[in-house]
A and B are shown apart, each in its own frame.
Chain A
């Protein structure tokens, strides 16, 4: 993984004005947000946060049970958020974490109050609006005891923006018997470098479902969120659907540490390299019994590209049940012929299979977002990329 040359990006002085009504955004920017799963129609969202470049420009909760604010305000209000901030990630881990510590531009603090069942998704978007902007954000999410929420976190460039750098720290706290679904959709540009550094902890009886969708090209992205399942009877599930067109370099995956008995986790990644490179990591560690983990990395190379699957299982106690299934290849001939026997020509058969491979129904996304993702897949298939 190449290092991001920080001197190429402007990490200071790129402020944006506050936006009271997201409908005031340009049509193009609204479209860009939609591609990252974020809608300007707030009636279907319980809270919204929008960061542009180095300013948080919009932040509003429609639900008393959801507290959402600029991380800087939260640090002030909650005395530095000492209980949470930098508790899961070492602030000296690398130059990107240091940058986010030393020169913090923003990010969100989301707290869902104990026992609240928040039905409408909470949405946040971190956007690169200016050319060559560098963005350091720190996000903290706390789902209090017994609460339930779905957070859609989109990351996007503005229309026409090509180059930028996004360094995002995210620390997730799923408390006892709480349930969190996160859906992250990335919509970066050809020349954007992305370094999320994420970690989370799931307490007793907690549930974390994490969806990740990347269908647009990005120059290089490196992320490897680590989730620790600290409490008994906790569940974690990860679904990723990722495409790397020509020019994209992705080093990504999930790491789960099952650190309590009666834990279950599943990591499923479906990746397509269509000219780009994907390093698909997966790591499940289990230190107690009973515990059950399954890791799946399915990779298709269409035309050119590289997929390097690195599945790792680490059991440290007798009786742990860990398994993995990894494959890297092309579309199976017998699948193509099956569809050709039904009258599809080879191209139709291929695109039908690819469409199925990228199917995100399992994620249970809101309809509007599902439609948007379906549209992106169609566009991707219609282009020469695949």
Chain B
């Protein structure tokens, strides 16, 4: 934005410059205000969401005790015999997110190491955007991919007996978050300065040793942050688990069984029309609150980890 000025000949040019600068300040004020408004809007929206969540959750806990909610193992809020143990839903969400991470993290890291350390520039420039397209596929497509391909073609031979399973949803989620892990990790690895690599080579390290013992530890904070972001995404994922994991709250550690996640329950209740103010209605807010707190804790942990273990290169 700097105004290209030639050599300063006399005072008038200087005066004109000062005038122009103040004029610019006046013109930029509305832009400044507008940008501030944009930033404020997102903060206000967040505050509004948290407020509504809190309000309805409060209504829920007026009727249900916290110990029943967090400790109970049966979840049937919409039936006549009501029971509010959220563990089956929470367990399903955590299990599916973890399974997805177990698949996506090693795979994503290998992709990242290849792209950052091994791939020629031309290959990298093609592979990376293509990988990122995976992140742009609508999740409903992943859901049906899991239901109609992963479950019958890949998991049935392994012993899945039903159409819906946690494992099929997890695998689809793994594909979905793979680019998130690989792309962010690769960015972190490329941020490791070349001089470190060269130093290692100078000490006689081969390429593999440089990648695993110098670059990987150097980029660790970024990689961990990427993984936690990806986990948050998997925890909050809705469409895939609703379509592919089934709609039955099921406290089980067998990933080949169908189970309902926190998000899946919210969808199920919102699909039918529940009476506003009833306990079914506020139960979706309590579940949403739990989901919100889970991802919030993870994001805070990611921030802390990033600032604690950040390697500064200058």
A binds B: no
